[in-house]
Structure 1
Amino acid sequence: MAGGKRSEYMPSEDDRASSFAQIPTSFGHELRACLRCRLVKTYDQFRESGCENCPFLDMDKEHDNVVNCTTPNFTGIISVMDPTRSWAARWLRIGRFIPGCYTLAVSEELPEEYQALCADNNVHYVPPKRT
């Protein structure tokens, strides 16, 4: 949020209160996590409706974007109903995202071209910590 401006893709308080991310329809090997916000859904759900926190990634329009911007390799899942009031959501740095299911950690980085897309859209991206 450069210059104190709210990113156009950051949900407002009203939007967060009235919208939720899709809940995964299954909990098998078809789950994927968004590499930017760590939202967890099935591959088909990302393909059909994209990522609710990252609409600028156009996952619902481009099949390759789902493959490039999500990963099946993640650790743990947390369901968050009220991210603004959840200490766990704040600790995981997902307190500004909409309610939904999130992974605790991803180990892959968002590809550089999509990191540039985040910067172009004035959206903050934090790469995963290297262990």
Structure 2
Amino acid sequence: MANHGGVVAAQIPTSFGHELRACLRCRLVKTYDQFRESGCENCPFFQMDDDHERVVDCTTPNFTGMISVIDPARSWAARWLRIGIKLL
């Protein structure tokens, strides 16, 4: 998780193949390994860190599409999808 001038950013997926998963609550997309290493930055209460079962139970490999936002405060897409206040 990076902090750039008061804005906190989630990890960027390290690959874009079949190992990507999405958090069931906030829809953050990362690889299985990233969820296992650091959990979900938006949903720390899921406690996925170092827990295979929690990662499998709280994420899904079934999702369509992905969005990347540079400036959530000014992005109409972030406002439309209501993701402006979450880690992106």
Residue 34 of structure 2 aligns to a residue in which SS?
helix
Measure, in 1, the Cα distance between the counterparts of 2:29 and 2:64: 11
Q: How does 1:25-104 map to 2 (within 5 A)?
A: 25-98=14-87, 100=88
The percentage of aligned residue pairs carrying the same residue is: 78
Q: In the comparison of the two structures, how many residue pairs are matched?
A: 83
Distance 2:72 2:54 in 1: 26
Between the aligned partners of 1:69 and 1:84, the Cα distance in structure 2 is 28
What TM-score results when the alignment is normalised by the length of structure 2?
0.87
Larger RCO, structure (CA 8 Å, separation 6 or more): 1
Structure 2's unaligned 5+ residue stretches are 1-5
Q: CA RMSD in A?
A: 1.1
Q: Which stretches of structure 1, 4 residues or longer, exceed 4 Å deviation after superposition?
A: none
Counterpart CA distance in 2 for 1:55 and 1:29 is 24
TM-score normalized with structure 1 length: 0.60
Gaps of 5+ in 1: 1-13, 101-131
2:13 aligned to 19, 24, 37, which one?
A: 24
